[in-house]
Structure 1
Amino acid sequence: MTAAPSVVADDVLAGLLARHYGLSGRIKVLSSEVEGTAEVTLPDSTRLILKTSTQPEAVDSFAFQSAAIMAVEKGTGFVAPRLLPTQGGARIFEHDGVSGYLQTCVTGTPLHLMPRTSDLLLDAGRALGQLDLALSRGDLPAMARPVLWHVGCWSRLMELQQYLPSGPVADAVGAAMAAFLKLVEPRMGDLPWQVTHNDPSPFNMLSTDAGIAFIDFGDGCWAPRIQDLTIAASHSVGDPLRPLGGAEDLIAGYASVLPLSQLEITLLFGLMKARQSVLILVNYWRAQLFPDNAAYIKKNVARAEQGLSILSALNAQDGRAAVAEATVTA
């Protein structure tokens, strides 16, 4: 996360595409934070996504991502990209210091561009529950590799508070993280753990003709199962007239597929506030590291700040009660 996005020249991408997949097409480099992402349009107008990196650690990341995409291929109730193996049948390729993989391109409308209606959030929650069911069916390579967004790293991220401007947001972040350290983190080991997507944000969830789609498995890892719900729900807080800002609907949808345990119900509210805080901390820090890419890096920050403001109006007891009520309506 301290490295600039990996950049591979277009002619090199074209060579990799031809060598490893026997394909050619028009290449368009897309915005990304760490690994390189390019859209490839084949002569028949089929669109694919080529992920590449020159960073050595990307080999493990791509091994995980490609395996995760394959793992959910037979899942139901959601949409995900499909992996295209190399001509040799491998999930990923390595060539002259560049690694990567090729997948189909999912077409749809990102949820951040759509009104956050109750029906949409219910559908998103159900789809996320189905995705987690599909991811729970086995171990994947490199699932324990270091991931900054992993919940196990959150307690160490308070050192990034120096990058926040002083004011209500910084105060809310400090309070949320203090509560996380005291009340939530000590109990994380008692939760059910599994492979997770770990970044089901409105930018990585799309509304398609076939249902809700999930893209970008780059932050996926072994984590508490509830981490995916935590992340998606924390992004869904936006209505100041509802206790959980509208995230109730997404929680209800998820719980209708994967019922929450009492401990998950108890911890979810604190986890949501902590995840909003972590997003704010990391992205303020990274925006200062890479000012030219700040707009893309901070794309979710305003939503997180608004959501944290709404949730901070509740105490822990009322937050837990609101979560419990949402699961009852599932």
Structure 2
Amino acid sequence: MRAASAIPEAQAQRLAAEHYGLITAVHRLDSERDQNFRLRSLSGREYVLKIANPAEDRAVINLQTEALLHLAAADPDLPVPRIFPARNGMTELDIAFDDGSTRVVRLLSFLPGTPMHAVTGSAVLRRDLGRCAARLARGLSDFSHRGAHHKLLWDLQHATEVRPLVDAVPAERRGLIEDVLGGFEAHALPVLAQLPSQPVHNDLNPHNVVVDPETCAGVAGIIDFGDLTCTARVNDLAITAAYQVADSDDPLAPACEMIAAYHAALPLGAAELDVLFDLIATRMAMTVVISSWRAARYPANRNYILRNNAAAWARLQRMVKLSRDQARVQIQRACDVE
């Protein structure tokens, strides 16, 4: 989805005043699809004004809104954004813009903290991430919505559909990518439909997690629900784990700390544990392929799109040096499952 024409900060400021009664200072935030603005009110309280891409499916936008409202009731202490209604009581506004588009506007709480990718990782932080990921999955377990089954390229269950995009990856990397996708098809794809399925965040990468700036030891916020979809629950954990793999001789060790904490809070079944390694590697391969393809399509936003590409490739090279059996045993032992 192409980024829409830019909305000036001054217009975002006017929208906040007109529809939410807020007099604010405004700062544009990076985003791949939407137009997001950080607002600071006269009282010092901060918000995010989200202006959706006009091409976004209306049901998918509402899916994200309703999921956040559901989480606010299901787990009030979970650090996710809260939705604020407009003056007319609506949580979503359809606003006409000067370019002829109509876009959905929402106001969310701003979650302060330091982006996880900007801090040095620790076992304490990774374990807290695992617990928060499990709480988030549990909070969404009984959530339903007509838009939850929308098809998303980033959904791991559709990993084989990135094969036509592999040519966007440098030639010397394609063989490894094809091997990983082959492993997914052989081991994970045949069982995914039988695993527990539910709506999940689907993108808990370190750019979407903020941590306590004082201690850097705990999760202070989980943001960006733009890839929310219904899929195998273990896919969400695999995505989270993919970003905790280390570029080291023991690449799975830090990810296993996070996985073990998740398992302690929301136990994984034997079949989920069996395919977790395959799913982690597949997410890394998808990150390399999809970001390379999108960067070629949208060069103006190349730096943002490729922000996770280099690290994913480095970690993937480390991961494939493990045999599938080695990885499965390491994950099972971390979870105290033999």
Aligned-partner Cα distance in 2 for 1:76–1:252: 24
Seen in structure 2, the aligned counterparts of structure 1 residues 243 and 211 have a Cα distance that, compared at 3 Å, is: closer
Aligned residue for 2:92? 92
Match of 1:235 among 235, 243, 247: 243
Unaligned runs of 5+ in 1: none
**Residue deviations 1:97-143, cap 9 Å, x none?**
12121101000111111122111111111111111111112213521
Aligned-partner Cα distance in 2 for 1:150–1:250: 21
Verify: 1:226 aligned to 2:230, yes or no.
no
Using the TM superposition, give the Cα deviation of residue 6 of structure 1 relative to its aligned residue in structure 2, in angstroms. 5.1
Query: Taking structure 1 as the reference length, what is the TM-score of the superposition?
Result: 0.93
Using the TM superposition, give the Cα deviation of residue 239 of structure 1 relative to its aligned residue in structure 2, in angstroms. 4.7
Aligned residue for 2:24? 25
Match of 1:273 among 251, 256, 281: 281
Is the contact between residue 111 and residue 220 of structure 2 (CA under 8 Å) also seen in structure 1? no
Seen in structure 2, the aligned counterparts of structure 1 residues 45 and 319 have a Cα distance that, compared at 3 Å, is: same
Aligned-partner Cα distance in 1 for 2:202–2:179: 23
Between 205-214 and 228-237, report the one with greater CA deviation: 205-214
Aligned residue for 2:332? 324
3-state SS of 2:252 partner: coil
Seen in structure 2, the aligned counterparts of structure 1 residues 188 and 267 have a Cα distance that, compared at 3 Å, is: same
Query: Matches of residues 263-302 of structure 1 in structure 2 within 5 Å?
Result: 263-302=271-310
Match of 1:144 among 135, 146, 149: 149
What is the total number of aligned residue pairs between the two structures?
327
Between 247-256 and 149-158, report the one with greater CA deviation: 149-158
Between 261-270 and 129-138, report the one with greater CA deviation: 129-138
Is the contact between residue 201 and residue 229 of structure 2 (CA under 8 Å) also seen in structure 1? yes
Query: Matches of residues 115-126 of structure 1 in structure 2 within 5 Å?
Result: 115-126=120-131
Seen in structure 2, the aligned counterparts of structure 1 residues 189 and 171 have a Cα distance that, compared at 3 Å, is: same
Verify: 1:202 aligned to 2:206, yes or no.
yes
Aligned-partner Cα distance in 2 for 1:299–1:5: 20
Match of 2:106 among 97, 101, 115: 101
Counterpart residue identity of residue 284, structure 1: S
Aligned residue for 1:177? 181
Using the TM superposition, give the Cα deviation of residue 12 of structure 1 relative to its aligned residue in structure 2, in angstroms. 3.2
Percent of paired sites with the same residue: 27
Using the TM superposition, give the Cα deviation of residue 5 of structure 1 relative to its aligned residue in structure 2, in angstroms. 4.6
Is the contact between residue 67 and residue 141 of structure 1 (CA under 8 Å) also seen in structure 2? no
Query: Taking structure 2 as the reference length, what is the TM-score of the superposition?
Result: 0.91
Aligned-partner Cα distance in 2 for 1:36–1:153: 27
Match of 1:247 among 241, 244, 255: 255
Aligned-partner Cα distance in 2 for 1:190–1:6: 42
Match of 1:189 among 167, 189, 193: 193
Between 275-284 and 148-157, report the one with greater CA deviation: 148-157
3-state SS of 2:72 partner: coil
Using the TM superposition, give the Cα deviation of residue 265 of structure 1 relative to its aligned residue in structure 2, in angstroms. 0.4
Query: Matches of residues 57-68 of structure 1 in structure 2 within 5 Å?
Result: 57-68=56-67
Unaligned runs of 5+ in 2: 97-101
Using the TM superposition, give the Cα deviation of residue 215 of structure 1 relative to its aligned residue in structure 2, in angstroms. 0.4
Counterpart residue identity of residue 297, structure 2: L
Aligned-partner Cα distance in 2 for 1:309–1:212: 31
Aligned residue for 2:99? none
3-state SS of 1:72 partner: helix
**Residue deviations 1:12-59, cap 9 Å, x none?**
323332332122312211111011111111122221101102414253
